[in-house]
Amino acid sequence: MKTKYNITEINPKSIKEIRQIIRDSLNVIFEDNNLVLDFGNATYDDDSVKFTNFKVRLATADDPKLKDLKNYLKYSEHDFDLDKILIDRNDQYKLVGFKPRSSKRPFIIENINTNKTYVCDEKMIVRLYREQS
């Protein structure tokens, strides 16, 4: 089977293509078996590439950032509703994740219209939830 990629060297562009080849090839199998494939970072040299954190999870499982958010909320004094739509400057956002290693801006919100994600601090999240109440 010939693929549409003609990779002759390993560089950041070809690593993206290799990642896509793996996704295209395995996603059909994974979807049929109710699984999701996650990749981590890649390290490479002149003739090889190694993907770290190659992870397979159930399709119904939460992604790692959402798991971290739920774990944070379990021990936090905040009671944020994850289904609530937050409005800021006429844009709609949803709280979608948490980065436990980030001390300044650990919360991840997603713009519902553009699907872009942004990081923000706890102060902003509290303000958005207070304004929606």
DSSP code per residue over the chain: ---S----S-SHHHHHHHHHHHHHHHHHHHHHTTEEEE---EEE-SS-EEES--EEEETTSPPHHHHHHHHHHHHSS----TTPPEEETTEEEEEEEE-TT-SS--EEEEETTT--EEEE-HHHHHHHHHHH-
The structure's pTM equals 0.68
Domain boundaries, the chain: 12-58, 64-132
Supply the pLDDT for residue 99. Answer: 94
Residues 70-119: tens digit of each pLDDT: 999 898 888 888 888 888 888 899 999 999 999 899 999 999 999 999 99
